[in-house]
Amino acid sequence: TLADHEQRQQQPVDLDAIKLSIQQFDQQLAAVVCPELTDGEKNKLADLDEKIEEKQGELNEIQEGVKNLMEAIQKLKDTILRSEGDKTRAQKQKMELLKKTLEEKRAEKRRLTVRIRKARENAEKALKEAEHLRKDIDSLKNEEEKHRAETEKLEPVVLEILAEYNQLLNEKKEHEDELEKLKDNVKKIRDEHQEVRKREEDLKINYEEKSNKVRQHEEASRHHSKELATLKKEWNDLPTALLFEELEHDSAAHNPPPQPTQRGTPVTSPARHGSSPSLPRETPEQTPEKVKEPDEEDAIMSEHEADNDDLRTLGRAVLVDLSGEELAAVEKALSSIKSMVFALEDEIQKMQPNTRAIEDYKKKAADYKKKKDELDAVTKARDDVRNNLKQLENDRLTMFLTGFHTIREKLKELYQMITLGGDADLELVDGQDPFSMGISFSVRPPRKSWKQIANLSGGERTLASLALVFALHYYKPTPLYFMDEIDAALDQRNVAIIANYIKERTQNAQFIIITLRNSMFELADLLVGICKTNDRSKSIMVDPAKYMRRDSLDNSRISSTPILPETQTMLPEDIAGMSSSTAKVEMVPTEWGTSSSLLSRTSRSTRAMVLRPFPEPTSLWRAMASYLG
């Protein structure tokens, strides 16, 4: 039983000493390696075995007692939990109902306070405006009397002006009709002008094409003229060679006997002196026609025929007076002239006009048309893309301005609710192009002037930023938020306002908050504390509802011996991996360790933050710290 175990526990038993002695005996026994023992040693060994058995029995008895004691403690815990479970459940339900009613009343009180303040401000403004309106009404009455007198004087003038106005209207109508006719005429003239310009462009293009062709023909004509002049010069040199060939041919045909010359040497034909054989005679009719102008070639050929006849007659007379060496030189000159003639004929053959120029032009024109069609297609595609881009830019601008105005109005409402009277506004730096210069965030804290957010204090800047975050969440909710010590620069009142707003309004998102402020984590329904004990980091998840007793409804202090559940060690990744349907709010106070922090996580399936009153947190932390050692 428990009493026997307590009585047995009071006896002084040194378990560590017993274990140490057993280890020493084992070491001594292992060190003994003698094959035979004396009688004294055997008796001593027997005594030691008896002592070991005795101590082992005591050890087993003590362990059994410890086990029975732990079972008794567990049974006692279960009994206490069962006995208080039914009592606390009813109290918990009542407390939840009272807490819900209290929070509703507090929220209603805050809303009424804001409304009353607004109503007072509006009433003061209305009174001031009413006073201004009375003054304006009096001044307007005086002006009305003056205007009435002036109107009576101006009635005849007004009638005359009306008559002139009607006349001007009639004239205006006539002029408008004439203007319409003139517009029609101008339109017709413009259409005709467009047609004329189009025809003019076509004629210009045709003129340029013809001009290009004329320039090409002129260049070809100049080139051919130069070639013709060269050929004429070369042709004029041909009759001498032809004369010598004809003389040689006549000499061979008639074969006249040699005759003495003035020098006493016979004159023979070139063939008799072993010179080069006579070449076939070439006449102008045998030369191929290579030049474009046949009439001009016929005239040249006829001139050359006449010159050749004269030169033949002259050549016969000259050759009679030449020696053999001179005739050999003449034959050599004739051979070189013939080779030059053949080369010139080849050049004439190569200088024929290029008849493929027209085909090349047609190919180039087809390529130009193809490239132009491709350019037109690319230009059309570019215009389509440009129009689509412009449409997308217009749609983006419309969507942005719609969202901007919604967020702007919600920001004003939220900032006024959070600060109880302040004002905030978003403005476009460049109204013509909202995407070029950005957005200006101006804030007017309660009882202060307008300032940019960069010029605010830390707490004011935090409230303005949170109001903007909540406004963005209203426009487009985000499922998860991480907030790291957002209340560090806030006072207790503003911390409570932010915590209650997250609890009441943000019901479609999940919040993970790191904070060190009691006003934030005291409202939590579930806490996760990250602490350090015995040089080791731990994560402890605690449900504050399990520590509240029945007297918590009367705002009494928590018992100094709370009933705590078993702690659970968790890693940060285990906390992040918890199901969103079970995770609610997880926080930890600073009293748990020097490096502790606080995480808050909300249930996405139920509401944004499930927060409940937490009575006397300091006592609870102290009790939990004592339980954890």
pTM, 2 dp:
0.35
Q: CA-to-CA distance for 16 and 95, rounded, in angstroms?
A: 51
Mean pLDDT (whole number) for 432-458: 89
Mean pLDDT across 453-461:
88
User: Once rounded to an integer, what is the mean pLDDT over residues 161-175?
Assistant: 79
The pLDDT, as a whole number, for residue 321 is: 55
- Looking at residue 303, what is its pLDDT? 56
Q: Is the pLDDT of residue 441 over 90?
A: yes
Paired with 424 in beta bridges are: 443
How far is it, in rounded angstroms, from Cα 544 to Cα 615?
10
d(CA 300, CA 284) in angstroms, rounded, equals 9
Cα separation, 365 vs 212, in Å, equals 14
Residue 516 has a pLDDT of: 86
Residue (of 597, 599, 598, 606) closest to 579 by Cα position: 606
Q: How far is CA 346 from CA 221, 239, 341, in A?
A: 20, 20, 9
Q: How confident is the model at residue 236 (pLDDT cuts 50, 70, 90)?
A: low
Mean pLDDT of 334-353: 72
* Residue 495: pLDDT over 70: yes
C-beta neighbour count of 548 within 10 angstroms:
21
Mean pLDDT of the region 17-37? 63
pLDDT exceeds 90 at position 73: no
Residue 570 has pLDDT above 60, yes or no: no
- Say what the pLDDT of residue 29 is: 61
Q: Are 478 and 506 in contact (CB under 8 A)?
A: no
- Check whether 132 has a pLDDT greater than 50: yes
Which stretch of 74-88, 130-144, 243-257, 315-329 has the lowest confidence by average pLDDT? 243-257
3-state class (DSSP) for residue 455: helix
Examine the pLDDT at 464 and tell me if it is beyond 70. Answer: yes
| Most confident of the ranges 123-127, 220-224, 238-242 | 123-127
CA distances from 494 to 114, 386, 463, 487 (A): 15, 52, 8, 8
Task: Determine phi and psi for 439, rounding to 5 degrees.
Answer: -125, 140
Task: State the angle between helix axes of 458-475 and 492-504 in degrees (0 to 180), rounded to the nearest 10.
Answer: 10
Mean of pLDDT over the chain: 70
Task: Please tell me the least confidently modeled range out of 36-40, 297-301, 540-544, 590-594.
Answer: 590-594
Which of 251-255, 353-357, 551-555 holds the top average pLDDT? 353-357
Q: Which CATH superfamily is domain 381-457 in?
A: P-loop containing nucleotide triphosphate hydrolases (3.40.50.300)
pLDDT at 125: 80
Which residue has 């830019």 as its token pair?
393
How open is the CA angle 99-100-103, to the nearest 5 degrees?
85
Cα(419)–Cα(470) distance, integer angstroms: 14
The residues facing 452 across adjacent strands are 442
Q: Supply the pLDDT for residue 252.
A: 54
480 or 45, higher pLDDT:
480
State the pLDDT at residue 404: 93
Residue 469: the pLDDT is 92
- Which whole number is the average pLDDT over 51-74? 80
Of the given ranges (81-85, 210-214, 336-340, 424-428), which has the lowest mean pLDDT?
81-85
Phi and psi for 614 in degrees, rounded to 5? -125, 95
Q: How far, in Å, CA of 440 to CA of 428, rounded?
A: 6
**Pairwise CA distance, residues 245 & 279, whole Å:** 7
Q: What is the pLDDT of residue 401?
A: 92
3-state secondary structure 539-570: EEEECHHHHCCHHHHHCCCCCCCCCCCCCCEC
Q: Which of 242-246, 405-409, 492-496 is predicted most confidently?
A: 405-409
pLDDT at 399 over 90: yes
Cα–Cα distance measured from residue 123 to residue 458, given in angstroms and rounded to the nearest whole number:
33
Q: What is the pLDDT of residue 145?
A: 81
Locate the domains of the chain by residue range. 381-457, 477-628
pLDDT for 566 = 36
pLDDT at 158: 72
Q: What length is written for the chain? A: 629
CA nearest neighbour of 529 among 570, 496, 560: 570
Per-residue pLDDT, averaged over 397-410, amounts to: 93
The mean pLDDT value for 533-553 works out to 71
pLDDT, position 32: 52
The label of the residue with tokens 């980091």 reads 537
* Other C-beta atoms lying within 10 Å of the C-beta of residue 456: 18
pLDDT at 460 over 60: yes
pLDDT for residue 400: 92
CA dihedral 221, 223, 225, 226 (to 10 degrees): 170
**Maximum mean pLDDT: which of 131-140, 289-298, 310-319, 373-382:** 373-382
Query: How many secondary structure helices (H) and strands (E) does the chain include?
Result: 12, 10
Tell me what the mean pLDDT of segment 158-165 comes to: 77
Report yes or no: 429 and 439 within 8 Å, Cβ to Cβ. Answer: yes
Q: How confident is the model at residue 210 (pLDDT cuts 50, 70, 90)?
A: confident
